[in-house]
Amino acid sequence: MKPDYLAERQGNPVTWSRNSCLPPLKHRLALVGFGTVAQGLCQILYSRRADLLKEHAFDFDIVAVTSPSRGSMYDPEGLSLSKLVELGTSRAPFTDHLQTWDSEAVIRNSNATIVIELTPTDLKTAEPALTYCQAAFESGKHIITGNKGPAALNYQNTKSLAEQSGLAFLNEATVLSGTPVISLFQQSLAGIRIHGIRGILNGTTNFILSEMESGARYEQALETAENRGYLEADKTADIEGFDAQAKLVILANILMDIPLRLQDVQRSGISSITSAKIQAAKQADKRWKLVASLTMDGDQVLASVQPEQLPLSDPLSHIMDTGNALTFSTDLLGDVTISGPGAGSIETGYSILSDLLTINRGNSV
């Protein structure tokens, strides 16, 4: 059942009512990857279509969808959004508007104006996402991606490729999913300087530590996390801190213009945290958390991801279960903290919508 806030409004006529005589630009979207996030995005776009047009002058068609196991669909006039929502609930191969192009060919040859890249993250090669970004920029298309690979391994180059063509390369989904972090600093807090970052960037490890505090052993907590689908295909990405490491690198590159690399971040995960350590911390009114932090010592950047025992007076100690939170030390506002979901189909789908609206406002590059 869909949550209330996604109650369908398809019955409403799609009208454009801003004080403008010009109709809004119609964006043509290509979804590369049709998994959890792409399907969440389709649900949001389906249920909010009329409101997005009326309130944000955002008009769109989804012209292409690709999935290696299901095929590629392409209709230059736009695919049916209600059909895409339906297709999200099955694993059946696509049958309508079939195209023999693979994902890269769809990016290069379709009439899409924005490519939404939602393939699995690979933190060793950043592929296939890097190739897809390049193909999009070479064929004059904006990129919105939830994939951490390009921004964690090759942000500066990819961004400058986009800029050379006057195109957007947007990554809101990569850190804290739909909880605004990147757009918060690029839009609402534009002009401020960040000189430190500290936070909980991985919901799965936070969930495991929360379960252990409630009495579960590490293996039990890991199994519960796995059963609930919280773990990445490669468990070590979460447990050993690689995911949080990549997110810290992304924040440093995008928000602080520091060309930090994965290897610059000291990293250790939570596999060494035993039930005994959790209980000892509890007795001392403390909590173990996997903390990602970046501080500046003059020009030197000190970045790490490691388990820390936090006193209960530390706001991060109160982030439980799959929650994420980030405190930014800023020059003009002091500490600014934001917390919220870091994963989920609708939550991350929303981050893609937020990037779409950024492009629609024309302030993305």
Question: Which residues are designated catalytic?
Answer: 247
DSSP state, residue 242: H
Among 33, 71, 180, 199, binds ligand NAP (CB under 6 A): 33
H or E stretch including 198?
strand 194-200
Q: How far is the CB of 96 from ligand NAP (least distance, A)?
A: 16
Among 72, 147, 206, 317, binds ligand NAP (CB under 6 A): 147
Among the residue ranges 120-128, 162-170, 247-255, 275-283, the one whose residues contact ligand NAP (CB under 6 A): 120-128
Among 24, 50, 56, 70, binds ligand NAP (CB under 6 A): 70
Among the residue ranges 141-149, 158-166, 219-227, 282-290, the one whose residues contact ligand NAP (CB under 6 A): 141-149
- Tell me which residue has tokens 């007795």: 283
Which of 174-212 are b and which e, b meaning 16 or more Cβ less than 10 Å from the residue's Cβ?
A: bbbbbbbbbbbbbeebeeeebeebbbbbbbbbbbbbbbb
How crowded is the C-beta side of 289, counted as CA atoms within 13 Å?
27
Closer of 128 and 241 to ligand NAP (Cβ): 128
Contact 144, 168 (CB under 8 A): yes
Q: How far is the CB of 102 from ligand NAP (least distance, A)?
A: 8
3-state class of 140 per DSSP? coil
Among 106, 130, 173, 254, binds ligand NAP (CB under 6 A): 173
Is 249 among the residues that bind ligand NAP (CB under 6 A)?
A: no
Closer of 43 and 317 to ligand NAP (Cβ): 43
Backbone angles phi, psi at 193, to 5 degrees: -110, 135
Among the residue ranges 145-153, 218-226, 306-314, 322-330, the one whose residues contact ligand NAP (CB under 6 A): 145-153
Is 360 among the residues that bind ligand NAP (CB under 6 A)?
A: no
Is 90 among the residues that bind ligand NAP (CB under 6 A)?
A: no
DSSP state, residue 49: H
For the purposes of burial, counting CB atoms within 10 Å of the CB of 91, is it exposed (0-12), middle (13-18) or buried (19 or more)?
Answer: exposed
Is 72 among the residues that bind ligand NAP (CB under 6 A)?
A: no
Q: What angle do CA 275, 280, 281 make, to 5 degrees?
A: 100
Q: Using CA atoms, how far apart are residues 202 and 185, in angstroms rounded to an integer?
A: 20
H or E stretch including 65?
strand 59-67
Contacts of 97 by beta carbon, 8 Å cutoff, 6+ apart:
73, 74, 75, 79
Q: Using CA atoms, how far apart are residues 351 and 324, in angstroms rounded to an integer?
A: 15
Is 206 among the residues that bind ligand NAP (CB under 6 A)?
A: no
Among 30, 65, 88, 146, binds ligand NAP (CB under 6 A): 146
Is 67 among the residues that bind ligand NAP (CB under 6 A)?
A: yes
3-state class of 285 per DSSP? coil
Contact 340, 175 (CB under 8 A): no
Among 121, 171, 253, 304, binds ligand NAP (CB under 6 A): 121
Supply 217's token pair: 């052993």
Kindly state the number of chain residues that form the binding site for ligand NAP, as judged by CB under 6 A.
26
3-state class of 311 per DSSP? strand
- What residues are paired with 329 via a beta bridge? 196, 335
Among 44, 53, 115, 128, binds ligand NAP (CB under 6 A): 128
Among the residue ranges 35-43, 54-62, 262-270, 280-288, the one whose residues contact ligand NAP (CB under 6 A): 35-43
Backbone angles phi, psi at 257, to 5 degrees: 55, 35
Is 237 among the residues that bind ligand NAP (CB under 6 A)?
A: no
Among 72, 177, 245, 354, binds ligand NAP (CB under 6 A): 177
Among 103, 134, 204, 293, binds ligand NAP (CB under 6 A): 103
Is 44 among the residues that bind ligand NAP (CB under 6 A)?
A: no
Residues at the site binding ligand NAP, with contacts judged by CB under 6 A: 32-38, 66-70, 103, 118-121, 128, 146-148, 173, 177, 343-344, 348
